Each structure stands twice: as structure tokens, then as C-alpha cells.
Structure 1
């Protein structure tokens, strides 16, 4: 099979949670020496979720960069020790360790993802202390995915804006506001988990077309990211590939009218 190059699309960067290349969709990818290198022939971004469960050595991150092209970027999920076990309190030591490890990605580090548990209600003091802790250590983009309704308020949005933290646009959306990006507009980040059944459901054409329109309407300072997390049956791969095509068509038509 002839290798395909990744063509960056200014309107959006589309990828998956993890770099699996499911057998039913292998024809979407080019050749490569590893699963990651094959994945990177199609998609320009990937979300590393394994860092949520266990640490990776800096050398491991560095090795992954050797399988991807120059423009490829990784987002890395913060450890559950920080987000769930410590609930953002007293997190300096594990945060320092995590950030040091991810430096192995070098220029391929696109940003960090902080996913909070559904039980984590918004506490301005706790959140502000943690975000200050983070921002004293790094200015790398960070997107937060809260999953408690108390986060979707003007106060929470303003606090994230203050610290340069973006809020993820999630599907399924806990509340209507959760469906659109919030917080700092520097990095718009969509995470689509599958609906109605999270991690399992496929997205139809109408949903993907609507998503492309919403992404095009965003006012992010940089290229928006869209990550599909409905990986249980491999639909993330098919949905991400189809969204790429829809976005490219929109961009081509827009340029044609210019």
C-alpha cells in the first residue's frame, strides 16, 4: 500500500484517543514500522490516555516521537493520581514527575488533558491553587474536562480564562454548555466519547457534519482539536477519518468562494 502523508488542515486537527489501527479500517492507513507510525500516516494528532493509569519514562515518550512526522502532536492525559485520588490537592510532587516525563515529547507535545471525575464539584479555591501550580511550571496548552454540573458557570469559566485553561467540549454533554468549548479560547478541544452509549456508539453522518460546522465556527487562536474516544468497537477511527473528509471539503469550498 502506498504511504499517505498527513496534510494539516488549518480548520481542525482530527485524531483518536490512542493510536490503534483496527483491522476493519486498515485501508485508511499507510505503511509503517509500528502501529503508531501507521496511525500517523492518516492523523496529525493523538491523545495519550495510558498516562492516566501509569507513568511513562521520558525515554518512552521520546521513542514515540521517532515514529511520527514533524508536524504530528500528542496530547497527554494527566495521571488519575492527580485528578482523582488527590482531587487536585497536594499535587505538586506527582505533577512535577509527570511534567518531567512528558518533556521527552519535545516539540511534539501539543498539550495536556485534565479529566476530572463526575464527583468533583467546582471549588474555586482548590481549582485556583492547582491551576497556579500548573502554570508556574508550564505554559503548554491545557484542556480540562469537568464532569460535574457545577463547573458550567460564569465563575468557573472566568477562573479557567484567568489561568489560560481551556474547557473541553464533550459529547455526550452533561449540560448544554458542556457541548461547546469554554474557558480560555487559545485551544478548542472536542472529545467525543460515543452516543448514546459511551465508548461504543458510532456517530452518523448528520452528527459529524454538525460537528464540522461547530468547529468551523469556533474562534480558537490555534487549530481546534477533535478527538474521538469511541474506541471500543473501532468507530473512533472511522468517525475521525470521515470528519477529516468533511472538514477538508468545507475548507476547499470556502477557499473556492474566496
Structure 2
């Protein structure tokens, strides 16, 4: 792994696509500190290497708008956050009657300003596709937010061809997850202007390291799946043993090469 260096505006092909690479959160183990430049906080140091971070803590608890604003002020202008919708919306209300909760969340996360690049909607494994419920929720989301939206469904019913119209209608990217919880979940889908890979660690979710062969295969898939215009996000979520940081760093080098 190479030492830290300034992160570039984009790490993409000759097209206008941007590949954003980062981790879930921005913790840095002492063993990996030499990958980053100096900074007054872990987030500031994270942003010397990567140009994206996924905010997962918003799933578990609300943050004040001022906290989001402070995070935005910490990172450079090209950096973007992906913010995960609260579990009260996705897991407790299961998208039903959740638009007032979405208003509260967007009012808070709006403190990120233009540093908020994407909203992540992770659905519970037990939530089956219901066209009316999903259509109402994503239409309401789109009336409130015109930036990137990525959804990670984990029930097999969301991967039927009839769901494609929903993704396209509301410009929602379907997350490519590893490990894939159901057939088809390992490949990106939905809105072609955004691609979003979430690598959770395989075979042991959140814990397993990815070897060079796995990262190389992912790099090839990302290159092949780049939208001609738009963004691709690659987020490493295997944070439990600290593997996300070196995996993201090695993957960054592969994409640049």
C-alpha cells in the first residue's frame, strides 16, 4: 500500500464518470495511519486519501444539523457523503407513512449542503416488494431530494423485472452488495446514471478481508459498469477488524492504474 497523497477530483475513465471510493464511517486504525495525510480529526485525515464516506450512524440515531454542517466544513469541496436513512423509516415503518420522518432526516442531513451526494436506503431482509408502498415512498423522496439515491433491497421480490420500472421512474440505483443476500443482489441495477457497490466483507460479513484477486475482479466490474455520465460509488463496509481502510486504499490504486 502506498503512502498518503492528495485525493483526485475523479478516478474514472476518459468519460465524464466519477468513481468515488471510501469506507463506511471514517475510523482509522493505528496500523493504517500512514495511508493518510495530517489532519485535526479522523474525518479530515480520511479526506486526504478518499473522496467519499458513508454515514451509517444516521441509521441508528439522529444527528443535529450542526453536526452535519461541521462534517461538511471538515472536508474539501470535491468530497461527498452518502447518508443512510434512519431505521425508523426503513425497518420500523417499513416505508409506510414514513414521509414525515424523512422530512426530519433531510432537515438534519441538509446541514451537509452540497457535500451530501447520495442517500442510501437499506431495506430489511424481510421487506417484500409492494408496488404501492414503494411507489409512494420513492415518489415522496424524489419530491424532496433531487440528488443521488441508492437502494439496497435484501428480499428476492425486489429483483423481479417488474421492479425495474420503479427504479427508472424515480432514478434510483440498486446497490450491488457483497456478499449477495439473494441471487442478483451482487450486480448493480436500476438507474443507469448512478452505480453503487457496498462490500460488507465475505465470507464473514463486516469482518472478512478482501484479497488482491477479489479487489482486482471488483475493479474490472466497476470499469465495465461505469455509466457514461454520472457517478459510481464503491464503499467498503468490512470495518469490524479494520479491513475496510486498506481494502479501499488498494482498490483505489487498482482503479487509478
> Shared topology, TM-score over 0.5?
yes
Q: C-alpha distance in 1, partners of 2:91/2:4? A: 41
Mapped contact 1:40–1:68 kept (Cα < 8 A): yes
TM-score norm. by structure 2 comes to: 0.94
- Whole-angstrom CA distance in 2 between matches of 1:3 and 1:26: 9
Deviation at 1:177, TM superposition (A): 1.5
Quick check: 1:128 aligned with 2:135? yes
Relative to 1, partners in 2 of residues 1:136 and 1:203: Cα closer, same or farther, differing over 3 Å?
same
Which one of the candidate residues 223, 247, 251 is aligned to 1:239? 247
Once the two structures are TM-superposed, the CA of residue 10 in structure 1 deviates from its matched residue by 2.3
Q: In structure 2, how many angstroms separate the alpha carbons of the residues matched to 1:74 and 1:187?
A: 15
Q: CA deviation at 1:93?
A: 1.1
Residue in 2 that maps onto 1:171: 178
Determine if the alignment matches structure 1 residue 248 to structure 2 residue 256: yes
1:46 paired to 2:53? yes
1:207 is aligned to 2:228: no
Q: Report how many residues are paired.
A: 248
Q: How far is 1:3 from its partner?
A: 6.8
Decide which moves more: 126-135 or 4-13.
Answer: 4-13
CA offsets per residue over residues 50-94 of structure 1, 9 Å max, x none? 000111111111101111111000000000000000000011111
Where 2:255 maps in the other structure, the secondary structure is: helix
**1:67 to 2:74 alignment:** yes
Q: Give distance in 1, aligned partners of 2:140 and 2:125.
A: 22
Distance in 1 (CA, whole Å) between partners of 2:161 and 2:188 is 13
Q: State yes or no: 1:148 paired with 2:179.
A: no
Matches of 2:99 and 2:214 in 1, distance apart?
Answer: 40
Q: Tell me if the contact between 2:4 and 2:49 (Cα under 8 Å) persists in the aligned partners.
A: no
Q: Distance in 2 between matches of 1:65 and 1:10?
A: 24
Q: Give the conservation status (yes or no) of the 8 Å contact 1:3–1:31.
A: no
Correspondence 1:76 to 2:83:
yes
- Structure 1 segments of 4+ aligned residues over 2 angstroms from their partners: none
Could you say which residue in structure 1 is the equivalent of 2:6?
A: 5
Matched, 1:162 2:164: no
Task: For structure 2, list consecutive stretches of 5 or more residues without a partner in the other structure.
Answer: 14-18
Give the alignment's TM-score, normalised by structure 1. 0.94
- Is the alpha carbon distance of 1:35 and 1:219 closer, same or farther for their aligned partners in structure 2, counting shifts above 3 Å? closer
Q: Which deviates further from its counterpart, 200-209 or 7-16?
A: 7-16
1:175: how far off?
3.0
CA 1:32–1:192: 2 relative to 1, 3 Å: same
Question: Aligned equivalents of 1:216 and 1:146: distance in 2?
Answer: 23
Is residue 83–residue 116 contact of structure 1 (8 Å, CA) maintained in 2?
Answer: yes
Q: Residue 144 of structure 1: CA displacement?
A: 0.2
Between the aligned partners of 1:193 and 1:235, the Cα distance in structure 2 is 10
2 CA distance for matches of 1:10 and 1:219? 8
**Which residue is 1:94 aligned to?**
101
Secondary structure at 1:71 match in 2: coil
Q: What's the CA shift for 1:153?
A: 1.1
For the aligned residue pairs, the C-alpha RMSD in angstroms reads 1.2
